[in-house]
Structure 1
Amino acid sequence: MNQEIIEIRDGLIELYKTKDPFELCRSLGVKVIETDLGDNILGFFQRVLREEVIYLNNRIENFNEKEYVCFHELGHVVCHPELSICFLEKIFYIKDKYENEADIFAAYFLIPDNDDIDIYEIENMTTRQLSSYFKVPEKLIKLRFKELSL
């Protein structure tokens, strides 16, 4: 699946000339609505008929976190075109698989490839330090660097 995600990422960047999740959503016709989702939900996507909507919690103050959540939800939209939120709520045993894939999608956008990373600058950093350096959640560091073998 990772190779498919890389191909999707590269295709989106080439086609739309941006790595900005909000620009990608506009280009793809995906609505982004910021609304109060309470204290426990950062975001979700909904597919109704042929319209896709990403809801982001307007309580997210940190732009890097908002960007991550948007990429994560966009990952669902482009990597899981056959799913809807109602489907996921009823079938919990595969939910983790799709959540993981959406995080991998976000990680590939938010963390540069090997060629774009100064390995010597980061080689002795902990997961927490890498998370701070790249301004992403630690779980994305673990997903992305597992493949980079750093």
Structure 2
Amino acid sequence: MWIKKTVQDLIEKHQTNDSFIIARQMNINIIEHDLHEDIYGFYRYVRRNKFIFLNSNLAEPKKKFVCDHELGHVVLHPEVNTPFMRSNTYFSVDKIEHQANHFAIELAIPDDLLQEYILERMTIYDIAALHHVPVELVELKLKYR
């Protein structure tokens, strides 16, 4: 629950759930670079400077979710350099990756938005497709609701 509260506080403070805007307001450098196709992004902390690297070849919706995930590392694990995020990282059993996924899905789909989807009788597959995230992460969101 602490991750959900952290995300809610962040959204309230920055008046948005857009990780690019939040990162800019927090003076986090976002660098897009032509990375190997298996590498979606990663976070680096260097001399009190924070950098989110994103694969410039990703489609914009995927880039947004990767930024959400990496912002999770910035907020939850600020002084820990993370390994690169790959597609299989979504389902990692590693504690910090799991926490970053939880952060990202809370940021991407706040509770009020999820409630709207439920009222509209959207399936988890509809929600996942709409947000360009794996179904398993929507299931994670529902679990922590």
Q: TM-score, normalised by structure 2?
A: 0.82
Q: CA deviation at 1:101?
A: 0.5
**1:20 alignment counterpart:** 18
Instruction: Give me the whole-angstrom Cα distance separating, in 1, the residues matched to 2:5 and 2:25.
Output: 18
Unaligned runs of 5+ in 1: 87-93
| Higher Rg of the two aligned structures | 1
Stretches of 4+ moved more than 4 A in 1? Answer: none
**1:136 alignment counterpart:** 133
Unaligned runs of 5+ in 2: 84-91
Deviations 1:38-70 (A, max 9, x none): 110000000111001000000002x22111000
3-state SS of paired residue (2:35): coil
Listed as ranges, the matches of 1:17-56 within 5 Å are: 17-56=15-54
Instruction: Give me the whole-angstrom Cα distance separating, in 1, the residues matched to 2:71 and 2:18.
Output: 11
Instruction: Give me the whole-angstrom Cα distance separating, in 2, the residues matched to 1:120 and 1:147.
Output: 18
**2:87 alignment counterpart:** none
Instruction: Give me the whole-angstrom Cα distance separating, in 2, the residues matched to 1:98 and 1:43.
Output: 15
Q: CA deviation at 1:95?
A: 7.2
Instruction: Give me the whole-angstrom Cα distance separating, in 2, the residues matched to 1:101 and 1:85.
Output: 12
Percent pairwise identity: 36
Listed as ranges, the matches of 1:1-150 within 5 Å are: 3-61=1-59, 63-85=60-82, 96-113=94-111, 117-118=115-116, 119-122=118-121, 125=123, 127-148=124-145
Instruction: Give me the whole-angstrom Cα distance separating, in 2, the residues matched to 1:55 and 1:115.
Output: 28
3-state SS of paired residue (1:53): strand
* Counterpart residue identity of residue 54, structure 2: L
Q: Which has the higher contact order (CA 8 A, sep 6+)?
A: 2
Deviations 1:99-141 (A, max 9, x none): 1110100100112315752324336x2x433311443222311
Q: TM-score, normalised by structure 1?
A: 0.80
Instruction: Give me the whole-angstrom Cα distance separating, in 2, the residues matched to 1:25 and 1:18.
Output: 11
Instruction: Give me the whole-angstrom Cα distance separating, in 2, the residues matched to 1:13 and 1:67.
Output: 16
Instruction: Give me the whole-angstrom Cα distance separating, in 1, the residues matched to 2:73 and 2:21.
Output: 16
RMSD: 2.2
